[in-house]
């Protein structure tokens, strides 16, 4: 297998619009991969900056996910909490090419606990 900068995590149609799925990283932080209603793809560490709620389980609307635990709204693009709330969750660079989703390998690895 070729060493690439990007990690292929499979075809886009694995994620229905308006939903998210998860990608556990052994020894690291689980990643949530989102697909918006309008076909945007984003990846975040699957932990709300507030109380570590699994963002993958929240309701996706516009470019925002609402955390299922305490309704914090987190931007899918920047990982930042919206409105009055303050906090930020790491964003994993993602690209879609030829119908497949790729995550930046270094960022996926970077989320591993030291």
Partner 1 sequence: MRSGGFFVFTHLPEGNPVNAPTTVLEKHPPATAPVRERLVVIGNGMAGCRAVEEILARDCGRFDVTIFGAEPRVNYNRIMLSPVLAGEKAFEDIVINGADWYADNAITLVSGDPVVSIDRETRTLTTRSGRVEPYDRLLIATGSDPFIIPVPGRDLDGVVTFRDLDDVDRMLAAADKGGSAVVIGGGLLGLEAAHGLALRGMKVTVVHLMPTLMERQLDEAAGFLLKSELERRGQTIVTGGDTAEITGANGHVTGVKLKDGRTFDADIVVMAVGIRPATGLARAAGLAVERGIVVDDHMVTSDPAIMAVGECVQHRGQCYGLVAPLWDMCRALADNACRDEGACEQPTGYAGSVTSTKLKVSGIDLFSAGDFSGGDGAEDIVMRDASRGIYKRVVVRDNKLVGAVLYGDTADGSWYFDLLKKGEDISPIREALIFGQAFANGGPSLDPNAAVAALSDDAEICGCNGVSKGQVVASIKGGACSLDAVRSTCKASASCGSCTGLVESLLAITLGDEVQSGPKTLCKCTSFGHDDVRRLILEKELKAIPQVMQELHWKTPDGCASCRPALNYYLLCAWPGQVEDDQKSRFVNERMHANIQKDGTYSVVPRMWGGLTNPRELRAIADVVEKYNAPMVKVTGGQRLDIFGIKKEDLPAVWADLNAAGMVSGHAYGKSLRTVKTCVGSEWCRFGTQDSTGLGVKLERMTWGSWMPHKFKIAVSGCPRNCAEATIKDFGVVCIDSGYELHVGGNGGIKVRATDLLCKVATEAEAMDVCAAFIQLYREQAHYLERTAPWIERVGLDHVKAGLFDDHDSVTRLAARFRHSQLFCQDDPWAARAAGAHADLHQHLAEVRPLQMENA
- Residues at the interface with partner 1 (CB under 8 A): 1, 3, 7, 9-10, 13-19, 21-28, 31, 33, 36-40, 42, 51-54, 57-64, 66, 68-69, 71, 73, 75-78, 80, 97-98, 105, 108-109, 112
Query: What values do phi and psi take at 50, rounded to 5?
Result: -75, -75
Whether 77 and 91 have beta carbons less than 8 Å apart is answered as: yes
Considering beta carbons, is residue 49 or 75 the nearer one to partner 1? 75
Stated as kind and residue range, the H or E segment containing 109 is helix 105-110
> Is there a contact between 31 and 111 (Cβ–Cβ < 8 Å)?
yes
N- to C-terminal Cα separation, the chain: 26
Alpha-carbon span 1 to 81, nearest angstrom? 38
């Amino acid at each position: 297998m070729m060493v690439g900068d990007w990690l292929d995590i499979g075809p886009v149609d694995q994620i229905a619009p308006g939903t998210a799925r998860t990608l556990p990283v052994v020894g690291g932080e689980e990643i949530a991969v989102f697909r918006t209603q309008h076909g945007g793809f984003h990846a975040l560490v699957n932990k709300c900056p507030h109380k570590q709620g699994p963002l993958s389980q929240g309701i996706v609307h516009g470019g925002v996910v609402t955390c299922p635990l305490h309704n914090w709204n987190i931007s899918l693009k920047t990982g930042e909490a919206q409105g009055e709330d303050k906090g930020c969750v790491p964003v994993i660079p993602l690209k879609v090419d030829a119908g497949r989703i790729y995550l930046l390998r270094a960022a996926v690895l970077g989320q591993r606990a030291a």
